[in-house]
């Protein structure tokens, strides 16, 4: 095993190579040296199939560490009703050996699903044992005013979720201090989307260091707190000129993660949770 291998596994989210396929994500993860993958369920058939995903796991000898439910606006047509998206994601995660399902908070217009979301996620977690980690989002603004889009809220920190995913790009749009948020979440923090962002209203998912979030400090906090979760790289590579540049950006982000998550012999382990 290489000396720099971190205690916290670093996965590649297939969202990082979108609109390429989950097969491409596996190939890039293997080439660059990631510890596993987070698979975003999209319209791509392989991303929805346990059989296809297990075949890719065998081919590339990489585990799937998380499944991202199709709760994005661009995946509204995938897997039918809102609850079906979550339930089928849990079944798929169980089939491929992942123990985390990432889900976005519901939109207010999603009716009873939105109203019952907190209780429903708790029940599904309790009955299946799957960690359904609700992701932080950000306020939508129209004419300078916030449009209340999410229920119960875009910010999961004060909500009674058992498990939370933290995304640095979303935090940047919301003008939140991620380092403080991770401390406030404590042991409810289950999963991290590694990227960066600017407070410009754009969800850019930048390579860490190109935005304004305290990404390095946040990863170091997780390291020093002996956090037990997965860091999934979710940077946008759509503006890359070719596959080589995509791999360069993903490699740079992986190196950044390992640098700041690596436990050195002289690093004192602390219990940083509230």
- 144 in the Ramachandran plot: left (φ > 0), alpha (ψ -120 to 50) or beta? left
Please tell me the predicted confidence (pLDDT) of residue 243.
84
173 domain-assigned: yes
- Asked, for residue 3, whether it belongs to a domain, the answer is no
* Three-class secondary structure assignment of 208-224: CCCCCCCHHHHHHHHHH
Write the CATH number for 88. 3.20.20.150
Whose CA is closest to 16, among 261, 253, 260? 253
* CA atoms of 27 and 24, how far apart (whole Å): 5
The reported pLDDT for the residue numbered 72 is 80
Query: CA-CA distance, 139 to 146, in Å (whole number)?
Result: 6
Per-residue pLDDT of the chain (274 residues; tens, 9 = 90+): 344 444 899 999 999 999 999 999 999 999 999 999 999 999 999 999 999 999 999 999 999 999 999 988 778 788 889 999 999 999 999 999 999 999 999 999 999 999 999 999 999 999 999 999 999 999 987 666 777 889 999 999 999 999 999 999 999 999 999 999 999 999 999 999 999 999 888 899 999 999 999 999 999 999 999 899 999 999 999 999 888 999 999 999 999 999 999 866 444 444 444 4
Is residue 139 in a domain? yes
Asked if residue 129 belongs to a domain, the reply is yes
As for how many domains the chain has, the answer is 1
Domain contains 5: no
Question: Residue 13, exposed/middle/buried by CB under 10 A (0-12, 13-18, 19+)?
Answer: buried
Please check whether residue 105 is in contact with residue 137, taking contact to mean a CB–CB distance below 8 angstroms: yes
Domain assignment of residue 267, yes or no: no
pLDDT score recorded for residue 148: 81
Nearest of 263, 191, 201, 174 to residue 233 by alpha carbon: 191
Q: Which pLDDT does position 193 carry in this prediction?
A: 98
- Per the structure, the complete domain to which residue 127 belongs is given by 10-261
The answer to the question of residue 30 being in a domain is yes
Cα–Cα distance measured from residue 98 to residue 129, given in angstroms and rounded to the nearest whole number: 11
Cα distance between residue 195 and residue 235, in whole Å = 5
Is residue 29 situated within a structural domain?
yes
């Amino acid at each position: 095993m290489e000396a720099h291998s971190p205690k916290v596994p670093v996965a590649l989210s297939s969202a990082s190579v979108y609109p390429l396929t989950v097969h491409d994500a596996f190939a890039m993860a293997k080439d660059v040296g990631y510890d596993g993958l987070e698979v975003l369920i999209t319209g791509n058939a392989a991303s929805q199939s346990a059989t296809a995903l297990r075949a890719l796991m065998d081919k590339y000898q990489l585990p799937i560490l998380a499944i991202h439910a199709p709760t994005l606006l661009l995946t509204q047509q995938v897997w039918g009703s809102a609850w079906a998206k979550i339930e089928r994601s849990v079944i798929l995660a169980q089939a491929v050996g992942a123990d985390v399902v990432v889900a976005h908070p519901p939109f207010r217009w999603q009716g009873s699903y939105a109203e019952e979301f907190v209780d429903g996620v708790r029940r599904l977690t309790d009955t299946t044992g799957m960690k359904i980690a609700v992701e932080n989002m950000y306020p939508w603004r129209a004419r300078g005013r916030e449009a209340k889009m999410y229920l119960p809220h875009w910010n999961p920190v004060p909500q009674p979720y058992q498990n939370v995913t933290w995304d640095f790009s979303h935090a940047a749009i919301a003008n939140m201090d991620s380092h403080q948020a991770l401390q406030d979440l404590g042991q409810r923090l289950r999963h991290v989307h590694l990227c960066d962002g600017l407070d410009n209203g754009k969800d850019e998912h930048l390579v860490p260091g190109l935005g304004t979030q305290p990404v390095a400090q946040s990863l170091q906090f997780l390291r020093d707190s002996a956090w037990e979760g997965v860091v999934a790289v979710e940077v946008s590579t759509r503006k890359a000129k070719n596959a080589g540049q995509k791999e360069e950006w993903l490699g740079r982000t992986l190196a950044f993660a390992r640098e700041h998550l690596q436990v050195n012999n002289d690093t004192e382990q602390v219990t940083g949770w509230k």
